[in-house]
């Protein structure tokens, strides 16, 4: 019988042919002849997600897998009898032809942990696979936090491969992927640098040149009137450390966020003490004044409308209309009507 030709025959022959065709499919292309006609399946990545998950998503199979491969320190603290299959995939949509993943959670002596297993099915190894595993592990951590937990969970990432390159030729420690692994190890295994401006002394901040203005304002914006910062601000402006664009943005932010009883006066005084940026400060002061005028007009209109509603309500009350009808006609509250009637 020709290879791949399905004809009448014994059950064993049919089974053998099906197995042969299945193996050919798994390894790439398939040629199958049905009664003399040939169908050819081109070389394309095999959809392996179902196969992988049929095994690894089964609790007993997963327990055996973890009994064999889980790092001893994690195995010692974990309880495999608490394994729970988690839903979802963390693989990008365009890569799901080449990867499959399964996520299990389990209880440990210190809290909940996750076992993330990634099946790799590419024609060539991914040099940055360790970084990919790290990204997926962090995504698992984020989902854990999104559920309302306060602490990060341990996530054990596994790479399950069956590629042509064996043994696996690429690094499995993501820190070794940097051009300077030693520096990367120092950076990512210790506390990150912190700039807490509230803990800095003002005199030290004033020595920080082009950063001084930003740090000083951020430190003091909620603790004192902006006018108390004027001398320091004028000094820094005179030193030429701030661009006009930075200063304009800073003024706008200070006026929206800071605390000062007379912002226009503050801006006008800054204009007098900083001649180089006088126009900038004066423009801001005038714009603030215009906004105040417009706001006052709107408030006046609102008060006028309110007074008119009250007059209408008084007339309707004298006419003896039901309170609910007056409320609907004027939009005033029942309490406001009671005050008008008293």
Give the model confidence (pLDDT) of 262-283 as tens digits. Answer: 777 788 888 888 888 888 888 8
Mean pLDDT, residues 226-235 taken together: 86
Cis preceding-peptide flag for 143 (omega within 30 of 0): no
Would you say 144 and 152 are in contact if contact means Cβ atoms under 8 Å apart? yes
Q: How does pLDDT run across 117-167, given as a tens digit for each residue? A: 988 776 678 899 999 999 999 999 999 999 999 999 999 999 988 766 678
pLDDT confidence of residue 156: 95
Res. 314: pLDDT tops 90: no
Going from the C-alpha of 112 to that of each of 9, 60, 134, 153, 274, the distances in angstroms are 56, 20, 18, 6, 60
Reported as a pLDDT band with limits 50, 70 and 90, residue 22 is very low
Nearest to 51 by CA among 16, 87, 25: 25
pLDDT confidence of residue 260: 63
Res. 20: pLDDT tops 60: no
Would you say 39 and 32 are in contact if contact means Cβ atoms under 8 Å apart? yes
pLDDT confidence of residue 319: 60
Res. 293: pLDDT tops 80: no
pLDDT confidence of residue 132: 92
CA 58 to chain centre: 32
Reported as a pLDDT band with limits 50, 70 and 90, residue 76 is very high
State the CB neighbour count (10 A cutoff) for residue 75: 15
Mean pLDDT, residues 171-178 taken together: 94
pLDDT confidence of residue 167: 84
Portion of the chain with pLDDT greater than 70, in percent:
76
Res. 322: pLDDT tops 80: no
Would you say 313 and 330 are in contact if contact means Cβ atoms under 8 Å apart? yes
Could you tell me the pTM of the whole model? 0.64
Give the 3-state secondary structure of residue 43: coil
DSSP code per residue over 298-330: HHHHHHHHHHHHHHHHHHHHHTT--HHHHHHHH
Round the average pLDDT of the chain to a whole number and report it. 79
Reported as a pLDDT band with limits 50, 70 and 90, residue 220 is confident
Portion of the chain with pLDDT greater than 90, in percent:
39
């Amino acid at each position: 019988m020709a290879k791949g030709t399905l004809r009448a025959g014994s059950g064993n022959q049919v089974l053998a042919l099906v197995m042969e065709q299945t193996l050919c499919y798994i390894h790439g292309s398939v040629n199958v002849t049905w009664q003399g006609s040939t169908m050819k399946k081109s070389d394309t990545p095999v959809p392996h997600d179902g196969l992988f998950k049929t095994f690894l998503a089964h609790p007993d199979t997963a327990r055996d897998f973890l009994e064999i491969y889980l790092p001893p320190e994690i195995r010692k603290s974990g309880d495999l009898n608490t394994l729970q299959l988690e839903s979802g995939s963390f693989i990008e949509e365009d890569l799901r032809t080449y990867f499959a993943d399964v996520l299990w959670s389990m209880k440990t002596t210190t809290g909940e942990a996750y076992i993330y297993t990634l099946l790799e099915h590419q024609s060539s190894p991914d040099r940055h696979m360790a970084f990919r595993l790290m990204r997926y592990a962090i995504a698992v951590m984020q989902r854990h936090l999104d559920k309302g937990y306060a602490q990060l969970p341990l996530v054990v990432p596994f790479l399950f491969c069956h590629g042509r390159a064996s043994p696996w030729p690429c690094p499995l420690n993501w820190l070794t992927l940097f051009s300077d692994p030693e520096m990367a190890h120092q950076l990512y295994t210790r506390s990150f640098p912190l700039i807490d401006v509230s803990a800095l002394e003002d005199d030290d901040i004033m020595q920080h040149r082009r950063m001084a203005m930003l740090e000083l304002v951020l430190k003091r914006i909620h603790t004192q009137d902006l006018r108390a910062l004027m001398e320091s601000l004028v000094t820094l402006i005179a030193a030429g450390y701030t661009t006009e664009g930075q200063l304009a943005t800073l003024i706008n932010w200070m006026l929206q966020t800071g605390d000062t009883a007379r912002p226009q006066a503050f801006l006008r005084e800054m204009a007098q003490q900083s001649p180089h940026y006088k126009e900038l400060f004066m423009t801001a002061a005038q714009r603030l004044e215009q906004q105040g005028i417009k706001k006052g007009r709107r408030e006046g209109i609102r008060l006028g409308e309110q007074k008119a509603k009250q007059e209408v309500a008084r007339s309707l009350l004298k006419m003896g209309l039901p309170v609910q009808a007056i409320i609907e006609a004027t939009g005033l509250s029942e309490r406001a009507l009671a005050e008008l009637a008293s």
